[in-house]
Amino acid sequence: MSSPAARFDRGHTDDLMTFLTASPSQYHAVANAAERLEKAGFRQLAETDAWDSSTGGKFVLRGGAIIAWYVPEGAAAHTPFRIVGAHTDSPNLRVKPLPDTGSQGWRQIAVEIYGGTLLNTWLDRDLGLAGRLTLHDGTDRLVNIDRALMRVPQLAVHLDRSVNTDGLKLDKQRHMQPIWGLGDVHEGDLIAFLEDEEELERGSVAGWDLMVHSIEPPAYLGRDRELLAGPRMDNLLSVHAGVVALAAASAAEKLDHIPVLAAFDHEENGSQSDTGADGPLLGNVLERSVFSRGGTYEDRARAFAGAICLSSDTGHAVHPNYAERHDPSHHPRANGGPILKVNVNQRYATDGSGRAVFVNACERAGVPWQTFVSNNSMPCGTTIGPITAARHGIQTVDIGVAILSMHSARELCGADDPYLLANTMVAFLES
């Protein structure tokens, strides 16, 4: 790749693997993103404080979401935004408010299904537990039990002879509760265990947002290690690329716009929350950035009208065993570069003008690219792109990396595609 913007290589994929391992929950992901941005010179702002007109890198954290932006020297109040959008959450199993349960001498954890997860991929895996604990004083504590703590055991084939002919049928309530020990069930055991693990005083935890994760680390796969297998690539792959790209763009010699990273929570269940793309967080942050630099409503309108968002989320690579499920002329392939996601019914926000934005960024970065569109007989998924476009009136283009096993506990992509995506994002943010 000859373009000056094409600065990332396979080392970026190595770093992505580190990021995935360190981010078993969306709360860990935004904490890790914030730490990386701070090392690049960004500073955290509190939403409850007054914001000043200073230049430089800034970010806001709220729960499992992060909005970060860089104000270059000389930026006017109406300077437009260049936004990379992504989401931090992944489908998984979430701990219920009363977590201690069990049956037949087995101690289990009561979980609820979050998002459209592939249930069977959570069976017979060694599982850890991660998320955040909220203490009685209102502070949060991140927790990560990254060892074999629990398991969802599958029924033996001897007791279900039809499983390989009629298919596996899982009841979300009866069949997905992990086991984590033997003996009688005692209310409060799980939280007491976590308090001990975190060296907290017993009874100090008032609330929790906890989720199960596979402890198997990411790994290169294939004869030539040309593939990457790992958890939560939907969509921490895009979050990681966005963080790296924003840090790189902040070092550019000249910017005539404000580069932004917006990574939201709750995309997998509709984005309707105070930390989701359908909430007010992004609009509030962008508006406050305009107004803190002395801008008026007119400046705000001009900045939004000139803004463009690349909404980055994983998409479907053509599956070798199910090629008929894909559009016959659109077959995204691993290591073929980022994909442009198109749906005329606005499940994706891309139009012809947005296509030009994406293609220009790829060409500046020297990156190959592909197009994804659904088979007409199959329903099309969606992401934060149409929500961002509709809520804020910002031109939005849906892009991503083509993967297999989407919504599995362990997904698969080409090992080159993460850095090809990051190079495209840099070219977009620096343009």
- pLDDT tens digits for 117-168? 999 999 999 999 999 999 999 999 999 999 999 999 999 999 999 999 999 9
- So what's the pLDDT on residue 1? 37
Residue 241 CB coordination number (10 Å): 32
* Cα torsion through 309, 310, 313, 316, rounded to 10: 130
Helix (H), strand (E), coil (C) string for the chain: CCCCCCCCCHHHHHHHHHHHHCCCCHHHHHHHHHHHHHHCCCEECCCCCCCCCCCEEEEEEECCEEEEEEECCCCCCCCCEEEEEEECCCCEEEEEEEEEEEECCEEEEEEEEECCCCHHHHECCCEEEEEEEEECCCCEEEEEEEEEEEEECCCCHHHCCCHHHHCCCCCCCCCCCCEEEECCCCCCHHHHHHHHHCCCCCCCEEEEEEEEEECCCCEEECCCCCEEEECCHHHHHHHHHHHHHHHHHCCCCCCCCEEEEEEECCHHHCCCCCCCCCCCHHHHHHHHHHHHCCCCHHHHHHHHHCCEEEEECCEECCCCCCHHHECCCCCCCCCCCCEEECCCCCCCCCCHHHHHHHHHHHHHHCCCCEEECECCCCCCCCCHHHHHHHHHCCEEEEEECEEECCCCCCEEEECCHHHHHHHHHHHHHHC
Confidence category of residue 8, pLDDT binned at 50, 70, 90: confident
pLDDT tens, 368-377? 999 999 999 9
Q: 398-410 pLDDT, tens per residue? A: 999 999 999 999 9
Residue 337 confidence (pLDDT) above 80: yes
Q: pLDDT tens digits for 210-262?
A: 999 999 999 999 999 999 999 999 999 999 999 999 999 999 989 999 999 99
The answer to whether the beta carbons of residues 221 and 211 sit under 8 Å apart is no
Check pLDDT > 80 for residue 4: no
151, 212 Cβ separation under 8 angstroms: no
CB 179 within 8 A of CB 96: no
| Per-residue pLDDT at 253 | 87
Return the amino acid letter for 5.
Answer: A
For the chain, how big is the Rg over CA atoms in Å? Answer: 22
Q: How far apart are CA 40 and CA 248, in angstroms?
A: 9
169 pLDDT tier (thresholds 50, 70, 90): very high
Place of tokens 């220009």: 360
Distance CA 251, CA 193 (A): 45
**Per-residue pLDDT at 6 exceeds 90:** no
Could you give the CA distance from residue 37 to residue 59 in angstroms, rounded to a whole number? 8
pTM above 0.75, yes or no: yes
Q: Which residue has the higher pLDDT, 2 or 357?
A: 357
pLDDT tens-digit series, residues 293-324: 999 999 999 999 999 999 999 999 999 999 99
Q: Determine the Cα–Cα distance for residues 353 and 375; give it in Å rounded to an integer.
A: 23
Give the pairing type, strands 92-103 and 106-114. antiparallel
Output the average pLDDT for the chain.
96
Tokens 């430089």, residue located = 56
C-alpha to C-alpha distances, 376 to 52, 150, 373, nearest whole angstrom: 50, 41, 9
Find residue 398's DSSP bridge partners.
311
Work out the average pLDDT over 185-196: 97
Looking at the chain, the whole-number percentage of residues with pLDDT higher than 70 is 98
